[in-house]
Amino acid sequence: MKYYIIAGEASGDLHGSNLIRALKQKDVHANIRCWGGDLMKNAGGDVVKHYKDLAFMGFFEVIVNLKTILNNISFCKEDIQNFNPDVLIFIDYPGFNMRIAKWAKQQGFKTDYYISPQIWAWKENRIHAIKRDIDNMYVILPFEKNFYEKKHNYPVYFVGHPLIDAIAKKQPVDVYKFRVDNGLDDHRPIIAILPGSRKQEVSKMLEVMLTIIDDFKDYQFVIAGAPSLDYEFYKPFVKKTNVHFVANKTYDLLSVATAALVTSGTATLETALFKVPEVVCYKGSWISYQIAKRIITLKYISLVNLIMDKEIVTELIQNDLNTKRLKEELLKILDENKRTALFLDYYELEQKLGGIGASEKVATYIYKDGLKNQKKETIK
């Protein structure tokens, strides 16, 4: 069968790559065209647009880049028409994907969505478009199934979280070799810094995160470089004393880290699944933050706290993200008593997310559904 997958961010590239591998195991004749990144390409997908050209953060940034976004939408529609897939698979990235889904449904294409838009956080009225335009929704967070089915009477498949698969497949890290290969001290504990993947957020996060390094000289700080950004972008930050940098090695870094400072997003959940105590940080542009706080009514911004429905990790948002608070909270998660409590909470979190096999489950559903549609078309 022919599959067209659209992922617009680094996390979507990761989950898309695992889905591609699973689809190819189910369907030996799978022809997969996609929007994504290097991971999806290496998994066997024909990448026609890289997510590096798609990532625009915040309300203001989207407006500034509106012409580029509209051009991408036009190109995508034309490319789908030419490829004529048996099924379209959307991975998160709702601002773009929901527009394509509406058009695709009108054209008669099969539409599947893997990793739901976070309509439980904001833009809940998107449920009407989802019901109209999406044939199958595969959700990865346990509370999403109740949200869709009980609140909105829309059946979905809960497949578990693909991060569990990604982490389970990871090879163990030789701690000494990791330190030597990346120019780190061989004795001081590591504090990982995960500042995000977009230029705007990374600059804001690192500017504050690195203000505390002189207060923790018994530790070494390591920035996890995002695959979407070049080393030259990080260079000014790495020049600081006791700050190191690793590129495309986030999971290796989390495997050896004692604690972490993490920008809100998927990385907060990844850090928790690696059992690393963390402080969640977020600071957006003033305009974007003012708009967001008026339309988002969630109690928490981190996936860890949302899934557990209580504060497991501290969240420092906007003005709370300052040197004083950051220092205080980092000291807390370096304390053994606090760490023990966090480890127990992390274990419970992992149980809530279900077991391994999310990618395989989604691939099975999509492939079997595709075969049914082919049989229907043949009978017609």
- Number of structural domains the chain divides into: 2
The CATH number that applies at residue 107 is 3.40.50.2000
67: containing domain: 2-160+357-379
| Token pair in block for residue 141 | 């967070």
Residues 6+ apart with CB under 8 A from 162: 14, 15, 18, 19, 115, 140, 358, 359
What span, in angstroms and rounded, lies between the C-alpha atoms of 380 and 377? 5
Q: What is the pLDDT of residue 264?
A: 83
DSSP label of 244: E
Residue among 141, 65, 143, 51 nearest 97 (CA):
51
Amino acid at 10: A
Given pLDDT bands bounded at 50, 70 and 90, which one contains residue 262? very high
**Each residue's pLDDT tens digit, 185-223:** 888 999 999 998 888 788 889 989 999 999 999 999 999
Res 121: pLDDT: 82
Let me know whether 115 and 173 are in one domain: no
Q: Are 333 and 200 found together in one domain? A: yes
pLDDT of residue 107: 96
Residue 334, pLDDT score: 97
pLDDT score, position 68: 75
- In this structure, the answer to whether residues 144 and 208 fall within a common structural domain is no
What mean pLDDT comes out for the span 108-130? 93
User: Cα(first)–Cα(last) distance of the chain, in Å?
Assistant: 18
Closest listed residue to residue 254, CA positions, set 240, 268, 239, 234: 268
Over 90: is that where the pLDDT of 16 sits? yes
Report the chain's mean pLDDT, rounded to a whole number: 90
pTM for the predicted model, two decimal places: 0.80
Q: Which residues make Cβ contacts (< 8 Å) with residue 88, sequence separation at least 6? A: 4, 5, 6, 80, 100, 101, 104, 109, 110, 111, 112
Residue 266's pLDDT is what? 85
Q: How far apart (Å, rounded) are the C-alpha atoms in residues 22 and 141?
A: 20
SS3 content of the chain, % helix, strand, coil (to 5): 55, 15, 30
pLDDT at 287: 60
Beta strands in 190-277 (DSSP E): 190-194, 220-225, 243-247, 259-263
